[in-house]
Structure 1
Amino acid sequence: MTRVLCLGEVMVELSLEAADPTRASVGIAGDTYNTAVYLKRSASELEVAYATRLGRDRFSAMIRERLRDEGISDDFVTESDDRLPGLYAISTDAGGERSFHYWRDRSAYRTYFDAPGPDLEAMATFDVIYHSAISIAVLPNEARGRFLDWLANYRADGGCVIFDSNYRPRLWPDAATARDAIERAWRTCDIGLPSLDDEIALYGDENAQAVIDRLHGWGVAGGALKRGAEGPLSLSGATCPDCPPAPRVVDSTAAGDSFNGGYLGARLTGVSEAEALAAGHALASQVVQHRGAILPRGEDT
């Protein structure tokens, strides 16, 4: 059985009601969390675990319960005595435009690699480590460097690293810091899942082929370049299937995260590259036709 460890920040989501902004529904979200959920749903035979840091509060308990409900191990979730999960709120104006408001400066995940830290020897027993640019952006600079060094050693010992760009400018002190850290991550991965818009915004590439050429130069030989409605391109040069756009887009939240889950669920269970690309695109097309990051069970098949 292939064992996959997904690492990152999972947050509490408050979705304010448009008709009455004093009322809100509470949810759970986070880029690598979303991918972990869709990965496990897409390939139940995979062993999927999630690595993060939470508090000892009711919301942290809710996150743990949600992970277990999805069949995802929380063995690598650690707890802080004095910090809580990050929080964000979504508000919608009269025209339907959404705004996001974040409270994550004291997120427990920021201290995940502080002493004594997680059990790195146990983490190294996983076949695959999946993380994103958000996973490393939220970490303090020193912890980020130590984690990337550890990943390089893990990979040298035969582990498979999967990285999703997910560049969010507000999480970085400046673009130069982001470029340096994300380049390190690209150079330490086996399967890359970049988004065209992110790569152009951060590195100034002219087009999709320029992105692919740069990543090949950094040693990224496999994976998929996500292009939204245009459909993905294979980083390995495999022929891409016809990927029609979603008939309607209600909410683009987690489009890339769900693509990753569907693609990896196929890829890690021996399906061909073309079929994996189609599976990722099909799942993302379903997700964008609904509100929210996580579809109710049964609607993602």
Structure 2
Amino acid sequence: MPQNNHGKSLLAIGECMVELASFDHSEELCRLGFAGDTLNALIYAKRWDSSLKCAFYSAIGVDNFSNKVLSFFERHEIDAEYVARSRNRNIGLYSIVIDREGERSFDYWREQSAARSMMSLHQARNTVIKDVDIIFFSGIALSIMSENDKQNLIELVSACKSGGVKIAFDPNYRPAMWSGHDHAKLWFDKAYQLSDIALPGLDDHRAVYGHENVNDIVDHLNSLGCREFVVKAGKQGMLAYVDGVCVCQQPFKPEKQTDTTAAGDSFAGVYLAARLNDKDVATSVAAADAMARQVVQYHGAIVPQESTEKAKNEFKQQCGKGEY
């Protein structure tokens, strides 16, 4: 992987949105924040390993909330070098409603989101990605773009891979963002074919591919040449594979489940942070699982900083190690 002067580096591609979260099963109380699947992962990666250089590739507007998000990036130590600005589009917005079991539903206002035009905005400013070890993107990043920009994103990722950057992909399927299963399948497969690390979910694959079990996913990703992947399989937990062989299975049993928002995002971020630190796959899964266990116990995508320390302590106890 490319070397830089700042230690290891993770670049996430995606969309940052204003988050309105409704708690206490009431629409009368909402908390305002900023979030997005790959951005959430980036924040948790940085929290887990403060030595990582974490940068976000996206676009925002020049509206009030877009200006506020720059302060949000700074507060979380996210490099905004690759965040373009649009003068005629704004930052998107979404709301979350949580049910009594901690499951969530979403509503979106993102048709005029600047992130939908990030590829053309970056092309106009001649953005060059450099000194990156892993690029992480998702099916959501693909889904918000035009067909031409989807292809442009795939070509950008492919060019970076040819330059020695490792590629990580999470399908993170949202049905409303695609014209049908075949549409999503086409672009997911393009992404998987480029991926050194994949983070598929059984629910996503069941919806898109009709895969009924983990073995179906394993066979499919093996056929596409993906060598390392972790399948998030609900009650079965997380199953990690390298070269088609299952190297670990980690059950997922949080003490309590308040809100599942960003559970998968936090898992992705910490897993990638651990792999960048040359931890083996099983150890990386254990670290990511410890973080996700904490995240589901809080409301919202970005939970209190103290949860990271709790996760690290749990991880150390589980692995019997004095230090991470």
Give the deviation of 1:20 after TM superposition.
6.2
Identical-pair percentage: 35
Structure 1 residues 300 and 177 mapped into 2: Cα distance closer, same or farther (>3 Å)? same
SS of the counterpart of 2:123? Answer: coil
CA distance 1:285–1:57, shift in 2 (3 Å)? same
Give the unaligned 5+ runs of structure 2. Answer: 1-6, 310-324
Check 1:118–1:191 CA distance in 2 against 1; reply closer, same or farther (3 A cut): farther
Q: How far, CA to CA, are the matches of 2:25 and 2:172 in structure 1?
A: 32
- 1:51 corresponds in structure 2 to 57
TM-score (norm 1): 0.93
Kept after mapping to 2: 8 A contact 1:243/1:278 = no
Q: What is the CA-CA distance between 1:206 and the residue it aligns to?
A: 2.4
CA contact (8 A) 1:124 1:159 kept: no
**What CA RMSD, in Å, does the superposition of the two structures yield over aligned residues?**
2.1
Which residue of structure 1 aligns with residue 12 of structure 2?
6
Which of 292, 305, 308 is the matching residue for 1:297? 305
Once the 2 structures are TM-superposed, how far is the Cα of residue 18 of structure 1 from its aligned partner? 4.8
Distance 1:7 1:107 in 2: 15
C-alpha separation in 1, matches of 2:87 and 2:164: 35
1:71 aligned to 65, 73, 77, which one? 77
Q: Deviations over 1:191-230 (max 9, x none)?
A: 1111111011101112101101110110110121112343
Aligned length, in residue pairs:
301
* Contact 2:267–2:288 (Cα < 8 Å) also in 1: yes
Structure 2 distance, partners of 1:210, 1:270, is: 29
2:176 to 163, 170, 177: 170
- Distance (whole Å) between structure 2 residues aligned to residue 170 and residue 41 of structure 1: 32
Please give the alpha-carbon distance, in whole angstroms, between the structure 2 residues aligned to 1:215 and 1:209: 10
Structure 1 spans left out of the alignment, 5+ residues: none
Is the Cα contact below 8 Å between 1:78 and 1:118 reproduced in 2? no
1:286 counterpart residue number: 294
**What is the SS of the residue equivalent to 1:75?**
coil
Query: Residue 133 of structure 1 corresponds to which residue in structure 2?
Result: 139
Distance in 1 (alpha carbons) for counterparts of 2:106 and 2:144: 17
- What letter is aligned with 1:141? E
Look up the SS of the partner of 2:82 in the other structure: strand
Change (3 A) 1:230 1:81: same
Secondary structure in structure 2 of the residue aligned to 1:214: helix
Residue in 2 aligned with 1:264?
272
What SS does the corresponding residue of 1:51 show, helix, strand or coil? Answer: strand
Tell me whether 111-120 or 146-155 shows the greater mean CA deviation: 111-120
Q: Distance in 2 between matches of 1:40 and 1:116?
A: 24
Distance in 1 between residues matched to 2:131 and 2:103, nearest whole Å: 44
Instruction: Give how far 1:27 is off.
Output: 0.8
